[in-house]
Structure 1
Amino acid sequence: MTRRRLPRPKELLPLLRFKRPQWNAKRRRLDAALTVEDLRRIAKRRTPKAAFDYVEGAAEAELSLARARQAFEDIEFHPAILRDVADVDTGWDVLGGRVALPFGIAPTGFTRLMHTEGERAGAAAAAAAGVPFALSTMGTTAVEDVAEAAGPNGRNWFQLYMWTDRDRSMALVERAANAGFDTLLVTVDVPVAGARLRDKRNGFSIPPQLTARTVLDMARHPAWWFDMLTTEPLAFASLNRWPGTVAELIGSMFDPTVGFDDLAWIKEQWPGRLVVKGVQTVADARRLADLGVDAVTLSNHGGRQLDRAPIPFHLLPEVVREVGRDVEVHLDTGIMSGADVVASVALGARFTMVGRAYLYGLMAGGREGVDRTIAILADQVERTMRLLGVASLEELEPRHVTQLQRLVPRAR
């Protein structure tokens, strides 16, 4: 029979230590977010539908995005045991410079639509974390202002869409070089606009148009609308104000005739490192390596262009075998956790980029939300490495990861 007694006061005292309350509502929300998915849920509550769907959505049936995320969910890790992982180094050199973590912030368009702090928040958070920040041609903050926000310790990359007006394109590239951007990301998978059906259904435009639907949405998201209406007008920092849809903008300004000769021409003019983003075949990766680029980024544009496109993570091992000794291989699309980043590095990626994960944090809490995204991913990277039994990125190898593949090509 269990014997009972009254507890002594000194035994109760350790149980009566209450957690200090957090009175800042934003800080409380962000502290409670333990994963990127948690940040996504906060972002969805706080952001109007059209802006959130622009981030969340992809092309057509959104199969490319779903498959990319499924590929990361289908990872099987193979940990080694009894390894000294008391100290873990999560950094190494990428494109000639040290990064504190093997991921950075991907270029995103219309970023101030998600939160008024926009690219400034992303650049400042990336600089504080010791990782690169990439600014999009379709960004809403000027290259000079991004450089200022990042400060002297920031490492900024500029993403270029080649326009039909080549002189205007290169004038923008020159501005980026003069502002201290050290790497040019040439995106090559947007000869025409993908069919982003969510945006069409939402009537997505820049700036947002006040319709009966947006007025109703304003009542549900007053803080977002207050921020937008009381800060500098939302516009493209590098383009003229555009009143139409995203698809109409892309269709009017991007050049479907761009070829390898144009890329060679850009390379001759750019003084820094050159990365080609949007590579989706081994043959194209080989041709770019022969052209002398510094890195190729395996990407299907976050599933936002060609639906049913190749899955970058599945393509990674083959591309690394083909060109990994000649150029750095980078990866994006579908990354939502630090475990995804670690798996990519194990299979040969030198660097990865996060887009939606960054924007979820931005929508959830501005600069502090981006800081939280980076902190969550960094913690996941370090913990995954420790559990795998590796103390540095250099120790990660293909033997640590198996890609469990659901979509297997039929025999021809």
Structure 2
Amino acid sequence: MVTRQFPRPKDLFDLMKFKKPVWNATDRRLASALTIADLRTIAKRRTPKAAFDYTDGSAEQEISLARARQAFEDIEFSPSILRGTADVDTSSTVLGGPMALPFAIAPTGFTRLMQTEGEIAGASAARAAGIPFTLSTLGTTSIEDVKAANPDGRNWFQLYVMRDREISYELTRRAAAAGFDTLHFTVDTPVAGARLRDKRNGFSIPPQLTLGTIVNAIPRPWWWWDFLTTPALQFASLSSTGGTVGELLDAAMDPTISFADLEVIRGIWPGKLVIKGVQNVQDAATLAGLGVDGIVLSNHGGRQLDRAPIPFHLLPEVVREVGSELEIGVDTGIMSGADIVASIALGADFTLIGRAYLYGLMAGGRRGVDRTIAILGEQIVRTMKLLGVASLAELTPGHVTQLQRLTPRP
């Protein structure tokens, strides 16, 4: 029999320990986010539809993005036990410099449209975390201002080759003069992909007011207040704006881009050169013989060719072919630290996060980007400990099995 007694006040008080309240609304909002998906939910609630859909959407039926995310879900980890992994080392040396975590912030266009702190929030958060920040050609903060926000950290520049080649060459020289250490020469955008969400929303730079955008803005006055009381949104590295995103990209990009352009850029750029947008093994092998330092397996976040190859699926074969000659990055579909750990285990030297970073930015500006990095960092450390590895170098393909859903028909 259980002996019962009247509850003692002291016992009750011991149980009644309340959490210290968080008075700042942004801090409270971000503290409630435990995953990147949570940040996405907050971002969607706080951001007008056109800006959110520009970040969240991809091309045509959005099949490429869905498949990329599914590929990361379709993995099975193989942990080891009794390895004594109380502390893990998440640092590495990539493209000649240090990285405290195995991911960098990816280049994103129109970033201040999502939240007015834009690239400054990304660059300063990257500096604090010890990871690289990548500025897009279509960025809304200048090369020099990003350098000022991240003066002693690693800055990378993403380059589109435009119809007017001299614009691209001048941007390359400016990035070099500002001390950016790596150039991401992007090759998967000879023309703009069909981003149907943007077309349906009438998305443009600067935003155009319609009855729909006004109605959508009513419950989001904070976004419009920020937008209207901060410097005008414009492309910091380009002189002309106006029109839909697709029209802007079509005006800036050039379908005649070729290996000859790569040769010219290699002659101008003094730092590390990475080719971003590689989507097959043959191209990776070709690039290995052309004096580049690395490649990024990417289908542009699913925003260009729908039904493009899945970068994470390409990774093992590309590593076998050129992993001893090139440093290899991977992006598209990464939404957790476990996705990053799986990529490193299969041979990637680094990963890039785009949407995950922007969800944090929309959810809370600089503090939201810090929260994105913290969530991914915590997930990386926890996954590594559960796998029984103490450093990134200990991760091997044996730790990951890629389960198959899509197999080619003979």
| Range of TM-score over shorter length | over 0.9
- For residues 164 and 16 of structure 1, what CA distance do their matches in structure 2 show? 67
Counterpart for residue 48 of structure 2: 48
| Residues 265-274 or 335-344, more deviating | 265-274
Query: Equivalent residue for 1:217?
Result: 216
Partner of 1:256: 255
Give the letter for the 2:395 counterpart. L
Query: Residues 1-400 of structure 1: matches in 2 within 5 Å?
Result: 1-152=1-152, 154-400=153-399
How far residue 406 of structure 1 moved from its aligned partner, in angstroms, is: 0.2
For residue 249 of structure 1, report the CA deviation from its aligned partner.
0.8
CA distance in 2, matches of 1:405, 1:142: 43
Deviation at residue 58 of structure 1 after TM alignment: 0.4
Letter in 2 for 1:87: D
SS state at 2:158 partner: strand
Could you say what secondary structure the match of 1:220 adopts? coil
Bigger shift: residues 338-347 or 235-244 = 235-244
User: What is the Cα-based RMSD across aligned positions, in Å?
Assistant: 0.8
Q: Is the contact between residue 139 and residue 236 of structure 1 (CA under 8 Å) also seen in structure 2?
A: yes
Which secondary structure state, in structure 2, belongs to the residue aligned with residue 41 of structure 1? helix
Equivalent residue of 1:291, what SS?
Answer: coil
- Could you tell me which amino acid in structure 2 is paired with residue 296 of structure 1? I
DSSP-derived class of the 1:29 partner:
helix
Contact 2:172 2:268 in 1 (8 A): no
* Letter paired with 2:165: R
* C-alpha deviation, 1:82, in angstroms: 0.4
- Alignment-mate amino acid for residue 89 of structure 1: D
Contact 1:274 1:293 (8 Å CA) reproduced:
yes
Q: Distance in 2 between matches of 1:217 and 1:241?
A: 27
Q: Following the alignment from structure 1 to structure 2, what is the Cα–Cα distance between the partners of residues 86 and 373?
A: 24
Question: How many angstroms apart in 1 are the aligned matches of 2:26 and 2:49?
Answer: 20
The alpha carbon displacement at 1:96 in A equals 0.8
Contact 1:289/1:326, CA 8 A, preserved across alignment:
yes
Detail structure 1 runs of 4+ shifted over 4 Å in the superposition.
Answer: none
**Alignment partners' CA distance in 2, 1:269 and 1:173:** 7
Deviation at 1:14, TM superposition (A): 2.4
The answer on whether the counterparts of 1:40 and 1:361 sit within 8 Å (CA) in structure 2 is: yes
Residue 410 of structure 1, CA deviation: 0.6
Tell me the matched-pair count: 410
Q: Distance in 2 between matches of 1:87 and 1:150?
A: 28
Say if 1:109 and 1:136, in contact at 8 Å, map to a contact too: yes
Letter in 1 for 2:134: A
Separation of aligned partners in 1, 2:22 and 2:246 = 43
Q: How big is the shift at 1:90?
A: 0.4
| Alignment gaps of 5+ in structure 2 | none
TM, length-normalised to structure 2: 0.99
The one-letter code matched in structure 2 to 1:72 is: F
CA distance in 2, matches of 1:134, 1:181: 9
Provide the secondary structure at the position in 2 that maps to 1:234.
coil
CA contact (8 A) 1:33 1:39 kept: yes
Does the aligned pair in 2 maintain the 1:89–1:393 contact within 8 Å? Answer: yes
Q: C-alpha separation between the residues in 2 aligned to 1:9 and 1:203? A: 63
Q: Is the contact between residue 124 and residue 151 of structure 1 (CA under 8 Å) also seen in structure 2?
A: no
Q: CA deviation at 1:212?
A: 1.1
- 1:348 is paired with a residue of what secondary structure? coil
CA distance in 2, matches of 1:243, 1:167: 21
Partner secondary structure for residue 88 of structure 1: coil
Q: Deviations over 1:217-267 (max 9, x none)?
A: 221210000000000000100112311001111111211111112102111
The answer to whether the Cα contact below 8 Å between 1:39 and 1:360 also exists between their aligned partners in 2 is: yes
Q: Return the offset for 1:278.
A: 0.2
Deviation at 1:210, TM superposition (A): 1.2
Structure 1, residues 76-114: CA drift from partner, whole Å, max 9, x if none?
000000001011000110001110000010000000000
**Quick one: which amino acid aligns to residue 357 of structure 2?**
Y
Comparing 41-50 with 208-217, which one deviates more in the overlay? 208-217
Distance 1:253 1:114 in 2: 21
User: Is the contact made by 1:330 and 1:349 (CA closer than 8 Å) also made in structure 2?
Assistant: yes
